[in-house]
Chain A
Amino acid sequence: MMKPEIYYALGLDDKEYKKIRKILKREPSKTELAMFSVEWSEHCGYLCSRKWLRLLPKTGRYKTLIGEDAGGIVIDDLAIIFKMESHNHPSQVEPKQGAATGVGGIIRDIFTAGARPIALLDSLRFGPLNQAYNRYLFNGVIDGIQFYGNCVGVPTVGGEIYFDNSYTGNCLVNAMCIGIAKKADLVRARASGSGNSIMYVGSSTGRDGIGGCSILASHEFKEGEEKRPTVQIGDPFTEKCLIEATLEAINTGYVAGIKDMGAAGLTCCTSEMASAGNSGMDIELQAVPRREENMQPWELMMSESQERMLVCVKKGKENQIKKIFLKWDLNASVIGKVTAGGMVTVRDKGEIVAQIKASALTEAPVYDMPRKQPEYLRQLNKLESSGISKPKDYNSVLLKLLAAPSISDKSWVYEQYDHMVQTNTVVLPGSDAAVLRLKGTNKALAATTDCNSRYCFLNPYRGAQIAVAEAARNLICSGARPAAVTDCLNFGNPEKPESFWQFKNCVEGIRDACVSFNIAVVSGNVSFYNESPQSAINPTPTIGMIGVIDNINRVCSQGFRQAGDAVILLGHCREELGASEYLKEIHKMIKGDAPYLNLKLEQAVQGAALEAITAGLAHSAHDCSEGGLAIALAECCIASKDKMIGANINKLNYDIRQDALLFGESQSRIIISCAGDSREKIKRIALKFKAPFCVIGETGGRVLRILNGIEELICLPLEDLYHKWSGSLKKEIKG
C-alpha cells in the first residue's frame, strides 16, 4: 500500500485511491497517480456537477454544434463557436498572469475547433475597491487581459464588472471567446485512425502550473498558503503565432483532431482525445520539447505550461504539418501514434511509465452531493416595506447610484483593451451588448455576459433565470435574436450542502429559462471552491449569450439619438425593492427576494422590442437593470459624451412607492425611443405581443426630468449626471 500522504498531496482522497487500484488491479505508478489526480479533479472531471449539467438543453432555435471543448451554432454555412471559462483562483493568486492565461486558454479552445477567434468578453467580480488588495487584484486582472488580448489581436468587445464584499478573498475572472469558421472546416478534439501520428506543437514544457487544476482550482483558499507556483505564465506572441499556424494546418485537411493542452496538460490531451475517438495512444516523453532540465515523467504529464497543443495528424502527412509550425518558429514534434484498444501508454526512453485505459481517466466518478437550503435565507428574504425609509431628495440618490462602482462608467477599463482590431466591432463596449459584423454577409452577431449574483444569493433559482432573461434582453436591445448560451458556473465549496443547494437551484433556473426561450446551452464550465477564510462568493452563474442580427442596417444601441423623440416603456413597474442596488448602496441592506419574473411577460416584451427594432421604428433601446428605471433613463441620456440628449419623462402615473418606481429593479422592461409618428405603429406591435406599452415622455433639452403624476421626482442637468457617472471609477482606483 502507498502512503496516503503521497496521494493526499496530489489532491486525491482514500476512496479515490482505492478506486484507482481497483481499475488498474495493481498499485499505480507515480506517473499514473499524477494522471488520475488531475483528470479526476473537480476542475477537469466535473465529479460533483456532472449529474446536474445533464439537465441543460442541448438544442434550441438555432442548429447547435456540441464539441469536446467548445460548442456553437450554425448560421447558413457558418459555424459560430464560443465558450466561457473561469480563471478565478489563478487570478486571485497572481492577477496579471492568472487573467492573461485565462484569456489565452479560452482563445485556444476556440481555434483548436478550427474557428478564427473574433471576439473576447470578460465577466469580472472583485471585492470593494476601498481595500488596497482588491485594487491590486483589479489592476492586475485588467492589465493581464489587455496584455494578452491586445497582442493576440482578438478584440475585447464587452463583459461586465461587479463589486461585492463576497468576492473579497476570491475574485472571479470569467473569459469568453467567440470564433467563426466555415462549417465544413471544423475539427474535433479526437484522436482517431490507428497509425495516425500524435504531434506536439507550440511552446516547450516547463514546471509551471503543475497541479493548477487539481491543487489550485479544486480546493478553497486557506489561511497562509503559498500557491503561486501553480499559476501558469502567458506568452501572447506565441499564442498569436499558434493561432495562425493552427488554422493554416487545419486548412490542409491533414489534421484528424486537435486539442489545447490546458488544464491537466498532456494528461488531459492524451486521455480525452483518445477517449473521444474510441482509440488508444502510445507516446514517448523523450520527444516532448522542454525548457527545464531533469523533468520527471509525472511532471511532464501534469505541467500546465501555456500555448501548447496536441495534434492528431494523418499518417504520412507529418512533414507538411511540421513545415507550417516551423514557418511560425514553433516547436512541432511527433511524440507518438494512435493505437487501437483504448489504452493510453506513456513511455520514457521506451520504458512504460503509465498505462491506463483512456476511458478510466475520463470517466471520473460522479458524486451525488447533499443539498440543504441555507438557514439565513428565510430571514434575509423577509423585507418589510415600512423598514425602508423614504429618501427626501431623489436627485441625490440618483447621482449616488450613478457613481456606484457596479453602475458607473467602465471606459477606464475597456479603453485599455483593443476592442476594434479585426474591424468588425459595430457597437463598441458600453452599450447593452457588443455587436460584430460578419464580413461578407449582411448579418451581425451580438454578444453579452450577465449575472446579478445578489439575486442569485437571495434566490438562486430565480436569480439564474433572470441572468438568462437579462442576457436575452440585452441582445434584443441591440436588435439581435437570442441564439445560444455558454455558462460559467462559479460557486463555493460543493462539499458544503448549502453551496451545493445554490448550485443545483441555479442550474435548474438556467435550464427552465433556456427552455422557455428555446435556446441551447452549447458549452460551459464549472468553478467550485470559490471560498476564502473571509467568505464564500455569492452564487454566480455567469451567462454568456450570443444573438443573430439578420440585417446589419437594423443594429440598435442604448443612447437617445435625437431630440423630439417619444420615450416608450415596454413592461410594468412593480413595487419591489428586494435585492436592488438601491437597497445596497443607499440603505446598506442586502435583503428581500430577487425581483419577480414571469417568462411569458418577458418574452412578450422582448418580442415586441425586437419587432420594433427590426422594422426600423426604434431609434434606441435599453434594458432596465441595476438601479432601475431612473438609472436606465440617465444612461440613455449620457451614452454619447459628444452628443448627450435630455428627456422629459412626464407621463408616468404609478400608485407605488416613488423610490420603487425610480430605482426598483422590476424585470422585463425596455426603454425605446422613436420618432413621434412611429408611436402608434409600436403600440400596435406591443398589442400584438401582449406587451405592456406606455409612452412616458419625450427626448430633448439639457436635463433629465422625471415626474410621477404631477410630482417632480428628478430634475438634473446632463453634465451632472455624466460627471458623477464617468468620474467615480477612476477616483476609486486611486484609492
Chain B
Amino acid sequence: MKFGIVVFPGSNCDRDCYHLVKTVLRSSVTYIWHKDTDLKGADCIILPGGFSYGDYLRTGAIARFSMVMKSVTGFAKKGGIVIGICNGFQILLEAGLLPGVMLRNSGLHFICRHVYIKTENTHTRFTSLYEAGQVLKIPIAHNEGNYYIDPDGLKKLKDNHQIIFRYCSVGGMMSGQFNPNGALDNIAGIMNKGGNVLGMMPHPERSSEDELGSRDGYLIFESLLRWFKRKGR
C-alpha cells in the first residue's frame, strides 16, 4: 500500500500529508510532481491543500489542466482511490471528478479554526472505522469552502449517500449557526458515486496527532489502510 502526494508549485500541505503518512501512519509514500504523468505505482493519490498555481483565478481552475491531473483522472475513472483535501477538493470539483462547485465563504473572509463535523456515512472506504454519526474536531483553513450544487445534484448526493461529512455543533447539532462558510446543507465532504474519490474541506492531516489538539482525522487514513489490507495490498 503506497500513497502518492501530488505537488503543485503552490501546494503547501504536501509536506504535512507526507509527514502524516510516513511518521504517523508509518506507510509508504512518494511525491508526484505536477509536470509528471507517472503516478509511480501509488494506490492512493492525495491532492493536498494550498494554492496550486497561485489561485489568483478561480481556485483549482488552472490545476485541472495540469499534466498530472490527466493521469489522476484516468486513475480515478478506473476506480483508483483519490483524496482531495481543501484545495485538493476544489481541484476535484474543477476536474469533474466530484459534482458541484465551490463559492467564496459567505463571510467573505479566509477562515482558519477548529470546527466540528458529523460523519454522515460510515459505509465507505474512508470512514469505516468511525461510529455512525461520530462528531470530529478538525480544522478548516480556506477562503472558498462554500459548497454549492443544484437541487437535482443535491438529491442525487443524498440518494446515493455521497455526503460524508457535514458541519455541526460540538454535540452534533446541524444548523446554520455551526456552518462556517455557508456551504449548502452544511456539506463539508463528499465522495463520488463509485465511492473511490473523496473531497473534503477540513484538514485531517492537521488533526491526526494528540499534540495538535485532535486526533479525530486519523481514522480516515486508518480506514483506508484497513480496506487495502483486506484487498491484500
- Which A residues fall within an 8 A CB radius of B? 146, 150-153, 235-238, 240-241, 244, 328-329, 411, 414-423, 425-426, 428, 437, 439, 552, 642
Contact = CB atoms under 8 A, between A and B. Distances in A.
A152 B51 CA distance: 8
B110 A240 contact: no
Nearest to B35: A327
Contacts of A420: 112, 139, 141, 203, 206, 212
A421 B15 CA distance: 10
Interface string B46-63: 000111011110000000
B101 interface: no
Given A237-B10, A240-B12, A423 B19 contact: yes
A328 B16 contact: no
Nearest to B113: A415
B233 to A, nearest CB: 26
Most chain A beta carbons < 10 A, residue from B20, B55, B110? B110
Given A420-B112, A426-B212, 13 more contacts: A150-B112, A151-B10, A153-B13, A237-B10, A240-B51, A328-B9, A415-B111, A420-B206, A421-B13, A422-B15, A423-B206, A552-B211, A642-B170
Contacts of B110: 146, 150, 416-418
Interface in B192-227: 203, 205-206, 209, 211-213
B133 to A, nearest CB: 19
27 contacts: A146-B109, A150-B112, A152-B12, A237-B10, A237-B51, A237-B53, A237-B56, A240-B12, A240-B51, A241-B9, A241-B10, A415-B111, A415-B113, A416-B110, A416-B112, A417-B110, A417-B112, A418-B112, A419-B112, A420-B212, A421-B13, A421-B206, A422-B16, A423-B206, A426-B211, A439-B19, A552-B211
Contacts of B203: 420
A320 B230 CA distance: 46
Contact of A418 (B53, B56, B141): B141
Tier of interface size on chain B: 20 to 34
Contacts of B212: 420, 423, 425-426
B9 A240 contact: yes
Contacts of B12: 151-153, 240, 421
Contacts of A241: 9-10
Contacts of A416: 109-112
A423 B15 CA distance: 9
Contacts of B205: 423
Most chain B beta carbons < 10 A, residue from A151, A411, A417? A151
Nearest to B14: A153
Nearest to B11: A153
A421 B16 contact: yes
Contacts of B56: 237
Closest 6 A/B residue pairs (Cβ):
A153-B12, A237-B54, A418-B141, A151-B51, A423-B16, A418-B112
Interface string B109-125: 11111000000000000
Nearest to A152: B12
Interface of B: 9-10, 12-13, 15-16, 19-20, 23, 49-51, 53-56, 109-113, 139, 141, 143, 170, 203, 205-206, 209, 211-213
A372 B159 CA distance: 79
B141 A240 contact: no
Contacts of B213: 426, 428
Contacts of A414: 112
Contacts of A423: 16, 19-20, 205-206, 209, 212
Contacts of B54: 151, 235-238
A415 B115 CA distance: 12
A339 to B, nearest CB: 35
Contacts of B209: 423
A436 to B, nearest CB: 11
B139 to A, nearest CB: 5
Contacts of A237: 9-10, 51, 53-56
Contacts of B20: 423
Contacts of A328: 9
Contacts of A428: 213
Contacts of B211: 426, 437, 552
Contacts of B15: 422
Most chain B beta carbons < 10 A, residue from A238, A244, A420, A426? A420
A422 B54 CA distance: 18
A415 B19 contact: no
A85 to B, nearest CB: 22
Nearest to A150: B110
A642 B19 CA distance: 30
A426 B51 CA distance: 24
A419 to B, nearest CB: 6
A552 B211 CA distance: 9
Contacts of B143: 150
B10 A415 contact: no
B9 A329 contact: yes
A152 B11 CA distance: 9
A419 B113 CA distance: 8
Contacts of A418: 110, 112, 141
A706 B10 CA distance: 52
A233 to B, nearest CB: 12
B216 to A, nearest CB: 14
Contact of A240 (B10, B13, B19): B10
A585 B54 CA distance: 44
Contacts of B206: 420-421, 423
B53 to A, nearest CB: 7
Nearest to B12: A153
A426 B19 CA distance: 16
A432 B23 CA distance: 30
Most chain B beta carbons < 10 A, residue from A414, A416, A417? A416
Contacts of B19: 423, 439
A475 B21 CA distance: 32
Nearest to A412: B109
Contact of A153 (B50, B111, B113, B139): B50
Contacts of B50: 153
Most chain A beta carbons < 10 A, residue from B12, B49, B54, B143? B12
A240 B49 CA distance: 14
A708 B5 CA distance: 60
Contacts of A151: 10, 12, 51, 54-55
A153 B206 CA distance: 14
Most chain A beta carbons < 10 A, residue from B10, B20, B112? B112
Nearest to B205: A423
